[in-house]
Structure 1
Amino acid sequence: MWRQYTKEFRYNLSLAAPVMLGMLGHTFVGLVDNIMVGQLGTAQLAAVSLGNSFMFIAMSFGIGFSTAITPLVAEAAGEKDFKKGKSALKHGLFLCTVIGLLLFGLILIAKPLMDVMNQPEEVVSLALPYLDLVAISLIPLIIFQAFKQFSDGLSLTKYPMYATVVANILNVLLNYLLIFGKAGFPEMGIVGAAIGTLISRVIMVLLLWFLLKIKQKSSAYVTHIKIFTLNKAMLRKITELGLPSSLQMFFEVAIFTAAIWLSGILGKNPQAANQIALNLASMTYMIATGLSVAAMVRVGNQKGLRAFKELRRIAFSIFLLGFLIAFGFAIFFVVFNTLLPQIYLDVNDTNNMADNMQVITIAAQLLLVAALFQISDGVQVTVLGALRGLQDVKIPTTITFVAYWIVGFPIMYYFGLHTDMESIGIWIGLLAGLTVSGGLLFIRFNRLTKKLIATKTSY
């Protein structure tokens, strides 16, 4: 019985691994950024957390929208329809560029919200100039996502990874030089981190386009693109898939952003601790995201072939693999919950010893909750990828809204701000939202695939 699922593990991992490594690269840069900024002080670390909370919301919408490209390209690849695949890329690229520009403008408009969010004044004053620069990097990031999602749809998952790795190495180097003022560069603090992020993201999109251009399988897709010769039907198709997908990711990222803001109300140390725990948890989430892309691509291929029994078997294989990996990460967080937060702060800094120790203590407690939601988070993101592969996006959007904002947010708000649980209470709300989301999405996929199999069999 198990063999029918486990025999797919190797191929699923080969498809997902480059995505995992690319996503982990992004998160690793976040880890290095946080470690570097953490050496400046807890206020600077909290400021990066606050500034990035605005970025995360905008990024979630743009990245979520771009995921519409992958199932369309995967389905076209299954049908061997080049024209349809190139159309999906062109129209997706156009829409992602427009969305990147709009999101950049919205972040600038939203900046004054920091002054009315009851955040520490010292943190806000540091976060504003950081956000000015890092917001610009949204534009190349969302354009990169369009090419990445296309590349994933063709099962060319290695090329976005290569571009990401090179860009991340450059980002780490620039951050080191500009944050601390090394090798003759000016010492710019967290603003230097924003500049490093912007430059590296521009390089990243240019490098991915070049790699796709020199690859025979993808070259014809990414060259001679008549970007302003558009078809209303394809624009509508991508929008109908992309908008619900963007809302799904928005609802999830926004609940984690709410955790950042609620932690800021508790003070700079709870906010810094939340940032540490969130950064560590996001690394494991990126592994699940890689499996989600694998599910989206493989389900999309099987949908194009109308092989629904095989589609269901392959999807369940990916779900099982994701569960096993998530369980391993849960154990890792439990075993090392007190050690991991110490990586981010200077424990020998006698001037800030009290602050640093409080941050480490809170973060260690949050990692125990993070261990619990590893499985819930892994299930929900992987199943969501499979549903996107089926181009089923509207009902899952409702599910994610209910799970995170009808169930999760009230719990985190009440237990975080109105009980002695504080930071732990906020993360229990996250756990509740992710668990409900994972359960309901799995039920949706299970019922939908059974119906597809039954419908095909009846003909």
Structure 2
Amino acid sequence: MPTPLSWREEIIATLALAWPLVLAQLAQFSLQITDVIMMGWLGREALAAGSLASALLHPVVVFGIGALSAVSPMVAQAIGARDYTSVRRSARQGIWVAFVISALIMFLLYQSRHIYAITGQMPGISAEAASYLDFAALGVFPSLGFVALRSLVTAHSETRVILVTTIASFFVNFAGNYLLMFGKFGFPALGLAGAGISTSLVQTFVFILLSLYVIFKEGYRKYDLLARFWKPDWPRFFELFRIGVPIGLMVMVEVGLFAAAVFLMGWIGTDALAAHTVAIQLASLAFMVPLGLSQATTIRTGLAYGARCLEGVRRAGWVSIITSAMFNSISCASFLLFPHFLVSFYLDPTIADNAVPFTLAVSYLAYAGLFQMVDGLQATMAGALRGLSDTKMPMLIAVMGYWGCGLPISYFCGFVLGWEGEGIWLGLGIGLAITAASLSYRFMNRERLGLVRFSRMMVSDSPEQA
């Protein structure tokens, strides 16, 4: 077995890889924050409609992102094993997978009006949400194509370009929203539809930028990603699906749990829905740090796994756990100690119409603070297991934790016990805690469960497929 990095070296390597990813996640999420804040400027009805749109858009796009994240461990393992042909094949077929998944997602999004009608949402708010999705759907493929290329770049421990690209997208998104939502400088005031157009333009912008970087950067020319691009490589294509779809489903069931909570909040009323939108935005913002760290953990465990270094896998996992716990203790304290200050960024408490949603958002944020620790733990453990190409069982764990436990508890506490929004948030926290404990147990027992048997590491296909 190879000699692993020392604990100090592993910490440095993980943080060096993680900090640009964390900042990139924060910059990426700032696009959503900008959208939500500017929707709030349009009014609470627009804010509620934006929440409904995100409840449908976000889970399916996150599924695609999760599925495409399989490119990252496959490329990392190939680099660790010095199999550079596999690097090219995985990256190239990642674009193919992005195209197929995007077509399915776009078809679903164009059915939004029927979906909102079936789920009993308010007609006026549903119509506004659908107007946003009609245009945002056009940005799905660029978004997923960007993820495939980002996985390639990240696996090479080159993450600053991701950060720079994502920061640039923030300014493009703000400008697009300002011009198209509010009709500035001669542009029509399109409201939420304008935000949807801006979203698609931003996703196309970052995809083109990263594509040019990968095509023309010297270090990536050896892969020649565009050579025989249209020639199918079915073994690698289906291998990506085999590993990626469970990842996508796992991430989607978590995001889907929060999306389902949005629909439950919609049954309570507009004030509860607007308050939930604010609280979930703040909780999601804090989650970007463990999410970026989990991506770095996937690379670190994948590299150690590819190099057949058991101790390296262990150290990469523990470094991620400790680092995530340190940050999430800070975010938990912030939510519990300063909820009024945080909520005031989204809702002006001096406006009479905001009084009720402001108070509700403060109460929801207390629950969000309490589950910060378990939310970060489940993210990092999921990332560590993905580095080992272990995706099917974590998916089943997520389904049971989120939908088998979390959602029923949310409904029971919210509507049967009559705790309304607070009951819904309590169920979310319990679902996250169960999932985090189960994933942690699986990673801690990875050798006994046979997750690091190296005979199954890589897919071996005929050379002509490359």
Task: Using structure 1 for the length normalisation, give the TM-score.
Answer: 0.94
RMSD: 1.8
CA distance in 2, matches of 1:116, 1:102: 20
CA distance in 1, matches of 2:223, 2:270: 48
Summarize the Cα distance change of 1:162–1:219 in structure 2 as closer, same or farther, 3 Å threshold.
farther
Asked if the contact 1:308–1:453 (Cα under 8 Å) also holds between the matched residues in 2, the reply is no
CA distance in 2, matches of 1:35, 1:29: 10
Write the deviation string for residues 298-344 of structure 1: whole angstroms up to 9, x where unpaired: 10000111001121012111111111111111011111111211111
Q: What residue number does 1:36 align with?
A: 38
Q: Displacement of 1:394 after TM fit?
A: 1.1
Q: Which of 391, 397, 401 does residue 399 from structure 2 map onto?
A: 401
CA distance in 1, matches of 2:24, 2:54: 20
Summarize the Cα distance change of 1:221–1:315 in structure 2 as closer, same or farther, 3 Å threshold.
same
CA distance in 1, matches of 2:451, 2:417: 49
Q: Which of 150, 153, 156 does residue 155 from structure 2 map onto?
A: 153
Asked if the contact 1:288–1:381 (Cα under 8 Å) also holds between the matched residues in 2, the reply is yes
Q: What residue number does 1:448 align with?
A: 446
Q: Which consecutive residues of structure 1, in runs of 5 or more, have no partner in the other structure?
A: none
Q: Displacement of 1:124 after TM fit?
A: 1.2
Q: Which of 338, 355, 360 does residue 358 from structure 2 map onto?
A: 360
Q: What residue number does 2:408 align with?
A: 410
CA distance in 2, matches of 1:454, 1:63: 25
Summarize the Cα distance change of 1:409–1:6 in structure 2 as closer, same or farther, 3 Å threshold.
farther
Secondary structure of residue in 2 paired with 1:224: coil
Matched positions, count: 450
Q: What residue number does 1:380 align with?
A: 378
Write the deviation string for residues 355-411 of structure 1: whole angstroms up to 9, x where unpaired: 311111111111111111111110001110110000011111111011001110100
Q: Displacement of 1:86 after TM fit?
A: 0.3
Amino acid at match of 1:386: A
Q: Which consecutive residues of structure 2, in runs of 5 or more, have no partner in the other structure?
A: 455-466
Secondary structure of residue in 2 paired with 1:338: helix
Summarize the Cα distance change of 1:35–1:308 in structure 2 as closer, same or farther, 3 Å threshold.
same
CA distance in 2, matches of 1:233, 1:43: 49
Asked if the contact 2:153–2:159 (Cα under 8 Å) also holds between the matched residues in 1, the reply is yes
Q: Displacement of 1:419 after TM fit?
A: 2.6
Summarize the Cα distance change of 1:75–1:56 in structure 2 as closer, same or farther, 3 Å threshold.
same
Q: Displacement of 1:198 after TM fit?
A: 0.9
Summarize the Cα distance change of 1:6–1:111 in structure 2 as closer, same or farther, 3 Å threshold.
farther
Write the deviation string for residues 9-29 of structure 1: whole angstroms up to 9, x where unpaired: 332122011111111112112
Moved more, 216-225 or 147-156: 216-225
Amino acid at match of 1:189: G
Amino acid at match of 1:148: R
Amino acid at match of 1:227: F
Q: Which of 210, 223, 226 does residue 224 from structure 1 map onto?
A: 226
Asked if the contact 1:167–1:203 (Cα under 8 Å) also holds between the matched residues in 2, the reply is yes
Asked if the contact 2:98–2:148 (Cα under 8 Å) also holds between the matched residues in 1, the reply is yes
Secondary structure of residue in 1 paired with 2:226: coil
Asked if the contact 1:68–1:238 (Cα under 8 Å) also holds between the matched residues in 2, the reply is yes
CA distance in 2, matches of 1:455, 1:21: 34
Pairing 1:164-183 to 2, within 5 Å after superposition:
164-183=166-185
Secondary structure of residue in 2 paired with 1:119: coil
Q: Displacement of 1:454 after TM fit?
A: 9.6
Secondary structure of residue in 2 paired with 1:306: coil
Residue 74 (structure 2) pairs with residue 72 (structure 1): yes
Summarize the Cα distance change of 1:279–1:455 in structure 2 as closer, same or farther, 3 Å threshold.
closer
Q: Which of 102, 112, 115 does residue 113 from structure 1 map onto?
A: 115
Asked if the contact 1:123–1:268 (Cα under 8 Å) also holds between the matched residues in 2, the reply is no
Summarize the Cα distance change of 1:130–1:103 in structure 2 as closer, same or farther, 3 Å threshold.
same
Q: Displacement of 1:129 after TM fit?
A: 1.0
Q: Displacement of 1:453 after TM fit?
A: 9.9
Residue 173 (structure 2) pairs with residue 193 (structure 1): no
Amino acid at match of 2:395: T
Moved more, 114-123 or 437-446: 114-123
Q: Displacement of 1:445 after TM fit?
A: 0.5
Summarize the Cα distance change of 1:454–1:441 in structure 2 as closer, same or farther, 3 Å threshold.
closer
Asked if the contact 1:159–1:212 (Cα under 8 Å) also holds between the matched residues in 2, the reply is no
Percent identity over the alignment is 31
Pairing 1:115-154 to 2, within 5 Å after superposition:
115-154=117-156
Write the deviation string for residues 16-73 of structure 1: whole angstroms up to 9, x where unpaired: 1111111111211211211111011111000001011110121121011001100010
Summarize the Cα distance change of 1:442–1:275 in structure 2 as closer, same or farther, 3 Å threshold.
same
CA distance in 2, matches of 1:375, 1:222: 43
Q: What residue number does 1:284 align with?
A: 286
Summarize the Cα distance change of 1:338–1:184 in structure 2 as closer, same or farther, 3 Å threshold.
same
Amino acid at match of 1:379: L
Write the deviation string for residues 424-451 of structure 1: whole angstroms up to 9, x where unpaired: 1111111001000000000000101456
Amino acid at match of 1:384: A
Secondary structure of residue in 1 paired with 2:417: coil
Q: Displacement of 1:420 after TM fit?
A: 2.9
Q: Which of 23, 26, 40 does residue 25 from structure 2 map onto?
A: 23
Q: What residue number does 1:302 align with?
A: 304
Pairing 1:324-343 to 2, within 5 Å after superposition:
324-343=326-345
Q: What residue number does 1:209 align with?
A: 211
Amino acid at match of 2:425: W
Moved more, 160-169 or 270-279: 160-169
Q: Displacement of 1:221 after TM fit?
A: 2.9
Q: What residue number does 1:369 align with?
A: 367
Secondary structure of residue in 1 paired with 2:188: coil
Moved more, 100-109 or 366-375: 100-109
Asked if the contact 2:324–2:377 (Cα under 8 Å) also holds between the matched residues in 1, the reply is yes
Q: Displacement of 1:4 after TM fit?
A: 6.2
Secondary structure of residue in 2 paired with 1:432: helix
Asked if the contact 2:21–2:159 (Cα under 8 Å) also holds between the matched residues in 1, the reply is yes
Q: What residue number does 2:186 align with?
A: 184
Write the deviation string for residues 118-160 of structure 1: whole angstroms up to 9, x where unpaired: 2223211211211111122112111111111121222222222
CA distance in 2, matches of 1:14, 1:98: 34
Amino acid at match of 1:97: F
